[in-house]
Each structure stands twice: as structure tokens, then as C-alpha cells.
Amino acid sequence: MADFIALSAIAYTWEALGLVWLVGLAFTKRTVKRQPYGTRLFHLALAAVGFTLLGSNWFDHSWLSTPLFPHDAAFGIIGLALTIAGCAFAGWARFILGRNWSGIATVKEGHELIVTGPYALTRHPIYTGLLTAAFGAAFAVMEVRCILGMVVILLALAMKMSQEEKLMMQTFPVAYSRYRERVKALVPGLL
């Protein structure tokens, strides 16, 4: 029962973050530059595959649902805590980014380089939050598909991150270069 409650709460947490993203779409600035369509479609497809592996029950009767090792309700609670923390961090970053946000790598009209709030900790705090939340969901479930999903999600975000870095360097060559020297990409002080 505790596993079901934790897994349901994890799903609701992801849905709440998705709702924030959806509502936020209506308030973004006009896009003036974007990543190439091919890379956009590829990273979106990878992300879809990764999140499907992580959160879908489509694989319940396949080798992908093999448990990594026996676990108890504590894994669900820890996973839920990580998911909530990750989604809250990503939501905070989304809020601070404001109208500059986009679901794809873009430069907006009047784009501003945001370096405060969570952006003072990592250059890509939304991805830090998403990866933390995804790890929390994977930790709660502990199946082979979750490890595969995490790897695919990491690849998708790495692709998008490289596109964003390229656009930011083109848009803010001096300021972004200095920012990159000061602030790590995903994990404060490490990576």
C-alpha cells in the first residue's frame, strides 16, 4: 500500500510540474532564434522514450520490469522526496527564467541572461531538477527500465544543453563565457 501511495504521489508531482510548464507556455516571449529542427526532434524523441521507460507500465510483463534488487516502502518514500525536491527545483528555475523559457533551445526577443536564484548554482537548474526528480522516480521503482530511462533522459538533456550553450555563447559571448567559468552546468561545484 505504501508503494502505491508513494508511486501515485510521484505521478501527481510530475503532473503538477507538467501543468506549470503548460500554463507557462502562454507567457513566453516571441522566439527569434531556435535550435535546428532535426536536433530538436531527436532530443524530444529521446526524452519521450526516456520518460516512457521511467514512468510507464507498458513494460510490466517484460524483462525491462525486472527488479534491480528487493526493496521496501522506504525506497518509495525516499524516491518521492527526491521527486518532489527535483520538481520543486525545476519549477523554481522555470519561475526565475520567466518569459525567457522555452521547451526547446531558443533565444527570445529581448532575451536576458539569468544568473540569479537557481541559475547562480547551476547553468541548467531545470535539468538538474528534472534529473533529480527522474532519479527519485527510478529509485522508487528500482527496475531495469528505470536505469535505461535515466540514461536516455540524460542523453536527451545533454543534447539540448549543448544546443542551449551554443545559442547563449552566440547571444552573450562575453557574459556567458564568464558565467560558464563561474558556474557548473548541472551539479554545483562538480559538473
Give the gyration radius of the chain's Cα atoms.
Answer: 17
pLDDT confidence of residue 189: 80
The set of cell numbers assigned to 139 is: 529509485
Contacts of 133 (CB under 8 A, 6+ apart): 13, 14, 17, 82, 83, 84, 85, 86, 87, 90
Do the beta carbons of residue 137 and residue 9 sit within 8 Å?
A: no
Nearest CA among 118, 123, 124 for reference residue 96: 118
d(CA 119, CA 23): 22
pLDDT of residue 70: 80
Burial, 34: exposed, middle or buried (Cβ in 10 Å; 0-12, 13-18, 19+)?
A: middle
pLDDT tens digit at each of 191 positions of the chain: 457 888 899 999 999 999 999 998 889 999 999 988 888 999 999 999 999 999 888 888 888 888 888 888 889 999 999 999 999 999 999 999 999 998 889 999 999 999 999 999 999 999 999 999 999 999 999 899 999 999 999 999 999 999 999 999 999 999 999 999 999 999 988 88
pLDDT of residue 124: 97
